[in-house]
Structure 1
């Protein structure tokens, strides 16, 4: 499933953990809202190494979850 065509830039905070939605069903993309319940899909934890902008994958095809690796360009 392709949730979004493009990555989602998010300003992350050093030391904070974010949970990226891997199922594509979340109502709060790119983050998990628990919509995966009852499936084998689990969110991916990302702990920010520093304050910065992270491009979280929106298409769910990345080879480096949860960050975008550009694979959306081939969809």
Structure 2
């Protein structure tokens, strides 16, 4: 897997408290937008996000942002391919 799975085609808007968060880069985590270890065995690694004070953030849901883990609007230009299932 060289391309991340699109978890959702919109950002995750969250109110986060100070601390470290690990954003899922592969798109396979069942705890989106955060990592649950589903990337193991792939080239993907979670991206660490440090929050210094309470903040409202828009985290990338499509996993294609050039500014990961933050959403940059890339999801608007992605085409979702369905395999017929």
Over the aligned positions, Cα root-mean-square deviation in angstroms equals 0.9
Paired positions, count: 74
- Taking the aligned partners of 2:21 and 2:32, their CA distance within structure 1 comes to 12
- Please say if 1:13 is aligned against 2:17: yes
TM-score, length of structure 2 as denominator length: 0.82
Instruction: Please identify the structure whose Cα radius of gyration is greater.
Output: 2
Q: Which runs of 5+ in 2 are unaligned?
A: 79-85
Residue correspondence of structure 1 range 23-38 to structure 2 within 5 A: 23-38=26-41
**Ranges of 4+ aligned residues in structure 1 off by more than 3 Å:** none
TM-score, length of structure 1 as denominator length: 0.93
Higher relative contact order (CA 8 A, sep 6+): 1
